[in-house]
Amino acid sequence: MKAVVFEEHGGPDILNYTDILNSEPKSFEFLIEVKAAGANFNDIWARRGMPGMKVVFPHVAGSDVAGVVRAIGSEVGGTGFGSSPVRVGDEVVVHPGISCRTCDMCTSGQEFFCRQFLIWGFQTGPNDGGHSELVTMPAVNVLPKPANLTFEEAASMPLVLETAWRMLVTRARIQAGENVLIWGGVGGLGVMAIQICRMFGANPIPVVGGAAKVAKAQELGATDVIDRTSEDVAGRVREITRKVGADIVFEHSGQDTWPTSMAALRWGGRLVVCGASTGFEAVTDLRFLWNKQQNLLGSHLASKAELAAALRAVEAGHIKPVIDHVFPLRDVSKAQQLMEDLKVQGKLVYVP
Ligand SMILES: [Zn+2]
């Protein structure tokens, strides 16, 4: 089978579209023919290397796939142990949180706290990510594909959808009427965050770079869009919120934007963070944190149940996929270059 493989850290040129051994499902797994795979910044972190994280080589990246079940392991099916409503021939998507499924955390629906938790296609391996023609996946991680989406649309959603959903719905407990500052407003996470805000009756305030991205954010229903290339972000938030500040700040940028995020956050507000693409050494002035009684919330992926809830919102039409471009799988390096140059609105998708 074809896959995009790398065996060391480096730039996009180390990605090799090549033949690897076919995946075989273990007893508790499905074999899925990949019809489309999503691109995420995790793919780039794995390729570049990330301090403190071990990448297993040879590595096939990719944490989002949509496809068709081609085979099932011996323990999957029926009504007993390992039972799953999914059958051979079904169209599916995957929840990329891999965990033991037996510990206290897993059985309480908090698999992200499992001591064995890994993001599939990012921290797993060798050779088992989604940028491939076939993948194997524990049956418990497989969900039916929303019927109203194409394979390309479905592959563009789960990781960013469930991450943004947990951040806003579960962690920050978004409420109608709240103002939500969203960094990377038309990136993969941002386009989900804008739509979740609108679904809950909150006001998204996406921050974007340049006129084309302002237009894209407006197209998604945001009325208060901030262009960081020409506007002062904290100043604009004060204007939009009548000097109150944002109720929620949606952070995944980190070091470069953190001081602005804290300045734009209202007294008693919630800042929720799921990543730090510009760097990890963010500075917080603690005087303001205690005086303003602000809340800092970490968030990491989501549970399978949170993905299922978010997919119901997708099937109901509240949240739509936003795809910038579909590439053949052999062009992953070209696509990653576009992502690193911040030239993408929404998501990139690969088709084997
Ligand atoms: Zn566990």
- The HSE-up count of residue 234 (CA atoms within 13 Å, CB side) is 10
15-52, pLDDT tens digit by residue?
Answer: 999 999 988 899 999 999 999 999 999 999 999 998 88
pTM across the whole model: 0.97
CB 229 within 8 A of CB 210: yes
Dist CA 118 CA 97 (whole Å):
6
253-291, pLDDT tens digit by residue?
Answer: 999 999 999 999 999 999 999 999 999 999 999 999 999
Q: What is the mean pLDDT of the chain?
A: 96
Give the tokens for residue 245. Answer: 């500040």
The residue-averaged pLDDT of 4-24 equals 95
Give the tokens for residue 55. Answer: 């990448």
176-217, pLDDT tens digit by residue?
Answer: 999 999 999 999 999 999 999 999 999 999 999 999 999 999
Under the banding of pLDDT at 50, 70 and 90, the label for residue 78 is low
CB 3 within 8 A of CB 27: no
CA of 109 to the centre of ligand 1 (A): 9
Dist CA 36 CA 153 (whole Å):
8
Q: Is the pLDDT of residue 308 over 90?
A: yes
What pLDDT sits at residue 23? 80
Dist CA 303 CA 47 (whole Å):
25
CA of 112 to the centre of ligand 1 (A): 8
Q: Is the pLDDT of residue 81 over 80?
A: no
Q: Is the pLDDT of residue 82 over 80?
A: no
CB 325 within 8 A of CB 196: no
Under the banding of pLDDT at 50, 70 and 90, the label for residue 123 is very high
CA of 137 to the centre of ligand 1 (A): 16
What's the distance, CA 1 to chain centroid? Answer: 26
CA of 104 to the centre of ligand 1 (A): 7
What pLDDT sits at residue 77? 73
CA of 302 to the centre of ligand 1 (A): 14
CA of 125 to the centre of ligand 1 (A): 18
What pLDDT sits at residue 3? 97
Under the banding of pLDDT at 50, 70 and 90, the label for residue 243 is very high
CA of 81 to the centre of ligand 1 (A): 17
CB 241 within 8 A of CB 260: no
What pLDDT sits at residue 51? 85
What pLDDT sits at residue 310? 98
CA of 97 to the centre of ligand 1 (A): 11
Strand, coil or helix: what is 173?
A: coil
CA of 120 to the centre of ligand 1 (A): 15
Dist CA 31 CA 25 (whole Å):
5
CA of 273 to the centre of ligand 1 (A): 23
CA of 87 to the centre of ligand 1 (A): 25
Q: Is 230 exposed, middle or buried (0-12, 13-18, 19+ CB in 10 A)?
A: exposed
According to DSSP, residue 180 is labeled E
